[in-house]
Amino acid sequence: MSKLVLIRHGQSTANRDNVFTGWSDAPLTDKGIAQAHIAGRELAESDTQFDIVLTSVLQRAIVTSYIVMDEIHQPWLPIIKSWRLNERHYGALKGLNKAKTAKKYGDQQVREWRRSYTLMPPLLQHPDQDRRYRASAVIEPLGESAEMSWQRVKPFLEDQIAANLRASKNVLLVAHGSSIRVLLKFLDRVNDADFMNVEVGNGEPIVYDFDNQLHILSKTNL
């Protein structure tokens, strides 16, 4: 038996301002900090003893993970930060207000950019050259479809998530809407068309229980 808990970070300033963020950093709002505390308290009630924490290299997810670890009274847990769990890269949409972008391009176009599995956003002309990726020899994308983000999440699923679950370890994963959505697509066997409707709320833990063969025994939304 093993457990995987997925948590999307608490509300960020970009969430509050309805802005495309992607690989850019955006701090948590006061509401987002409160959501992280609540998520941690909900997990604390289950008294789950975790073995490892996995998160992205983006501020909003890292800070959320620290708050949750404190609330479950397990701040000593080892934590792995990986760019593979980053939010989907929104390319040239980065920094744009979603409502204003919808007025310019139409609601349906923006919905497809945001929710489609295969459609790519408009691309940047040059990568951002962020120091955290240069240090890891990671080539920053110019933009990603959800399917492309799955291709970078998938190796992490095998190397870290599944490997720890097979070792009967309980895994806490704190990431982003898009990186969690592609994990849900895999775990819940969601087809490409229905992927448009997969939603992940800020600070709302999703709990999976697995048997020793990694068959899902139960799924609970706290």
**Which of left, alpha, beta for 179 (phi over 0: left; psi -120 to 50: alpha)?**
alpha
Q: Which residues are paired to 221 by β-bridges?
A: 206
CA 201 to chain centroid, in Å, comes to 11
Residue 64's Cβ-count burial label (10 Å; 0-12, 13-18, 19+) is buried
Residue 157 identity: L
Annotated active-site residue in 71, 87, 89, 176:
87
Annotated active-site residue in 9, 42, 89, 176:
9
Asked if 140 is an active-site residue, the reply is no
Asked if 87 is an active-site residue, the reply is yes
Virtual torsion, Cα 185, 191, 193, 195, nearest 10 deg: -10
Residues labelled catalytic: 9, 87
